[in-house]
Structures are given as C-alpha cells and as structure tokens.
Amino acid sequence: MDQKVAIVTGASSGIGKQIAKNLYRNGMKVYALARRVYAMNELDDLGIHTMHLDVTDHDEIDRVVSQIVAQTGRIDVLVNNAGIGSFGSVEEMTLTEGEYEFKVNVFGLVKMIQAVLPVMRKQHSGRIVNMSSMAGKLGNMLLGSWYIGSKFAVEGISDSLRQELKPFGIDVAVIEPGAIQSEWKDGAMDRMMEASGSGPYAKLARRSAAFFAISYKFAAAPRVVARAVDRAVFSRRPKTRYAVGTGARPALLMKRILPDKCLDAFFEALNKYAQQVVNRETSQNR
C-alpha cells in the first residue's frame, strides 16, 4: 500500500510543527509548508518534507500542491493550520489589515482546499482539518472583531463543506483551541497595541492585553492540539469538532447556556480582574 500523504500549513513553529511531527510519527509522509523555511530544519532532520508556502499567494499554492502530487500521486490529509491574529478596534484597524487577516485565515484556507480536492475526489477519500479557535464560536474577546470574524467564517465554511464533500468520501473536521503556548499571542498583542494602544480604545487594549497575559500563563502545550488533529485524521468516524486547550470547553459550554449579555458581563468582569492582577504584579515588581 502506498504511504499516506499529509500536508500541514503554518508548520514553522508551535502548533503546526507539532502536528507535522505527530503525523510523521504515526506513519504518514508529511509535507510541512510555511513561509519561514529556515525555521523547519528540525523537521527536515526527522525526514519530514519542508517547502516554502505563503497561503496568500494562490499561484504558489497551485504550484506546491501540484509538485506534491507529482511526487506522491496522492493527498490523504490537509491540515489548514496557517493563521494570523490581528487585534485592535474596528475603528482604528485599516481595511487593508482586516483584508489581510481574511486572506490568511479564510481565503488561504479555502484555496488550499480547492487545490487538494481534485485528488481527494479521485481517490474517493480524504480528511480536511481546519484550524479554527474557541473564538470561532465565542465573540467575547476584546478588540478581536477581525480575528473572530475570520474564525466564525472558518466554522461556517467547514459545516457547509462537510455536507458538500460527504458523497465523495471526504471528511471535514474543525479544531477549536483555547489558550495554547505559541508565538500567536505575542504577535496578536503587539498588533493590537500598535493599532489601539493609544487613543479612545487604549483602556480596552490594556485590559485585553492583561487578560491574555494572565490566561496564557496557563496555556496548554501544542501537543494537545496535535493529538486532537491525530484523532480527526485517524479515527474511523471523526468528530466534526474538537475543542481543546485551556479554557476552550468551559467557555464554549457557557456560550451554549448563557444569554449573550450575561456572557458579555462575565467576560467584562474577567478582563477587569485580569487587569487588577497585572497592575498588582507590576506594582510589586517596582
């Protein structure tokens, strides 16, 4: 039997790198794709194939996927892990910044799916795993409208796609991480403070930064997400969704049972408390 082939985008660090390692250790031929090829030397050393890919470059996606198919003759798994978090007020973030967030998180994801589907349909088999977030169900992250909107889109696209591809033997699953140890948080907060760290939303920006600073002290390891991807890929009957990582399951449970304004009040109180903790820690360290 030919060795099964997996493609993982955004594989140069954190979650994506761990997903690539897990799939490789489970016997798959793995192609790890990212812009920062130099950061994937560790994967090369393991025997994982690494290639450059910018998911906003649709022509490059076609070239890379065609090259993989030419080498292997098949694609069994696509893990759409590439993503970016841009936080900041809607008023202050430019449309160009918002468009780029959707280019990476939504349109890049969809283009990857379009590129692999002809092969998967021909095989009458395949697994597509889309990396969403607890934010794909929970719109209560301060100054996160663009990011949250992109992840809500991933959730909706995945639901529709799951039904669309069922007749062709292709499964679609969504991963919904909570707080995970990665570079994502620092980049998201840096962009938020650049956009909204001064001006009318500065107070909310500081409060949001405090919430992330506290919550990410308890962040889960990337292997938690990688194991969820393993279940989505190797289970005979995969679930449609896997909520994993710090805070994901409790938050999504509250979303189901609490009225919207009660949930708003809960997260407002949580953000205020986080800021008090950060302020107290700052005062003690002076």
pLDDT in tens, 140-186: 899 999 999 999 999 999 999 999 999 999 999 999 999 999 888 88
Kindly list the structural domains of the chain, giving each domain's residue range(s) and its CATH number in brackets, ordered by start. Answer: 5-280 (3.40.50.720)
**What torsion, rounded to 10 degrees, do the Cα atoms 194, 198, 201, 202 define?**
100
Listed range (48-57, 132-141, 179-188, 218-227) with the worst mean pLDDT: 179-188
Kindly tell me if the per-residue pLDDT of 285 is higher than 80. Answer: no
pLDDT at 265 exceeding the cut of 60: yes
Catalytic position from the list 24, 31, 147, 242: 147
Residue 238 has pLDDT above 90, yes or no: yes
Among residues 63, 56, 34, the alpha carbon closest in space to that of 103 is found at: 56
Do residues 222 and 18 lie in contact, with contact meaning Cβ atoms separated by under 8 Å?
A: yes
pTM confidence score: 0.94
19 pLDDT exceeds 70?
yes
* 24 part of the active site: no
- The pLDDT assigned to 182 comes to 86
Q: Which residue has the tokens 């302020």?
A: 279
How far, in Å, CA of 283 to CA of 180, rounded?
27
